[in-house]
Structure 1
Amino acid sequence: MKWLMLSGVAVSLAALSYLLLSVGSGPLVASYQPDLARGESIYAAACAACHGANLEGEANWRTPGPDGRLPAPPHDVSGHTWHHSDRILLDITMRGTAAVVGGGYDSNMPGFGDAYSEDELRDVLEWIKTQWPDRERAHQAQVTARDEASR
């Protein structure tokens, strides 16, 4: 009986030591948990004016307007948002399309990294993904997995 009690104490100490040594080093750091209500709210405030309240984008989004820039694309299944990885979507949202594309590309899409935190912008992207059918969500998840595996 004494042996069982001592082994239980040893296991508890080992677990406690692991927790204390691991905090902030990776495995026990809390992972991101999306706040979809916050994402929807931020989308309505910051994105819907260009990308549409129903994710429909601007008319003729594939044809440059008079300023030579492409109109805002839809974020629903008729657009191409679901063709991109989470990393690319977050980068565009944080820094703006022109900064991500580079090479003199001009775009009306600003970066929102100064106005919103990374987690807030992830919430927007996660909310957008909830609006897609399963097929597009699965495709986008595969694109994200391939992108993460290649890094």
Structure 2
Amino acid sequence: MNWRFLASGVAVLVLLGLAGYSRIQDPERPSVISRFAPGAAEAEQSTAVRLRPGDTGLVADGREIYATACASCHGANLEGQPNWRQRKPDGRLPAPPHDPSGHTWHHPDDQLFALTKAGPAMIVGDGYESDMPGFAGSLSDREIIAVLSFIKSTWPAEIRARHDGINRQANGQN
């Protein structure tokens, strides 16, 4: 097993988990995303981010945005780059798939939004390098939610239900 990959993944989850915990404890305190992404504090909503895979208009917009902003790395069919779990010679990880074979659906909506808006390097910090940029300067919050809603709309019902459970758990609901 690649321990650097595992450590990076754990670091992302810990940081995002702490951000969510601190937000639950003090709703007035800025989240991790607002400290890293330009303009995020102003754009941050008072309610949690919610993907809307059943909103056909939003999903259609997300499909178009995905095709222009994401497919070149994550694949036209959300398949990701080959060997996405193995580091490239430069030490960076290839783009993961967003289909059910990937790990996207393992993360709650808030985390997916934060990673997309700020980019993994800003979220992880500590010199972490990633080919994925943050999209805060090029996509609106609505456009990011549209892309993520499109991605979720492609998952089978079982995976969507499991993702909904992950969201409930992340938001302190059972």
Structure 1 letter corresponding to 2:150: W
Query: Greater Rg, structure 1 or structure 2?
Result: 1
Is 1:108 equivalent to 2:134 in the alignment? no
Is 1:99 equivalent to 2:150 in the alignment? no
| Change over 3 Å in CA distance of 1:78–1:94 after alignment to 2 | same
Deviations 1:109-144 (A, max 9, x none): 101111011011001000000100011111111111
Cα RMSD (Å) of the superposition? 1.9
Asked if the contact 2:51/2:149 (under 8 Å) is kept, the reply is: no
Query: How many angstroms does 1:32 deviate by?
Result: 8.5
Distance 1:77 1:141 in 2: 14
Q: Identity over the aligned pairs, expressed in percent?
A: 50
Asked if the contact 1:32/1:119 (under 8 Å) is kept, the reply is: no
Distance 1:102 1:88 in 2: 15
SS at match of 1:113: coil
Structure 2 letter corresponding to 1:110: P
Is 1:53 equivalent to 2:95 in the alignment? no
How many matched pairs? 121
Asked if the contact 1:75/1:81 (under 8 Å) is kept, the reply is: yes
1:122 match = 145
Distance 1:89 1:127 in 2: 13
Distance 2:164 2:112 in 1: 12
Stretches of 4+ aligned residues off by more than 2 angstroms = 31-34
Gaps of 5+ in 2: 1-45
Distance 2:156 2:51 in 1: 23
Query: How many angstroms does 1:103 deviate by?
Result: 2.5
Query: How many angstroms does 1:149 deviate by?
Result: 2.0
Tell me which of the two structures has the higher relative contact order, counting C-alpha pairs closer than 8 angstroms and 6 or more residues apart: 2
Is 1:90 equivalent to 2:149 in the alignment? no
1:133 match = 156
Distance 1:88 1:145 in 2: 13
Structure 1 letter corresponding to 2:141: E
SS at match of 1:64: coil
Structure 1 letter corresponding to 2:85: R
Deviations 1:24-76 (A, max 9, x none): xx9xxxx9965111100000000000000000000000000011000000000
Q: Normalized against structure 1, the TM-score is what?
A: 0.75
Distance 2:122 2:69 in 1: 19
Q: Normalized against structure 2, the TM-score is what?
A: 0.66
| Change over 3 Å in CA distance of 1:120–1:82 after alignment to 2 | same
**Structure 2 residue corresponding to 1:77, chosen from 97, 100, 107:** 100
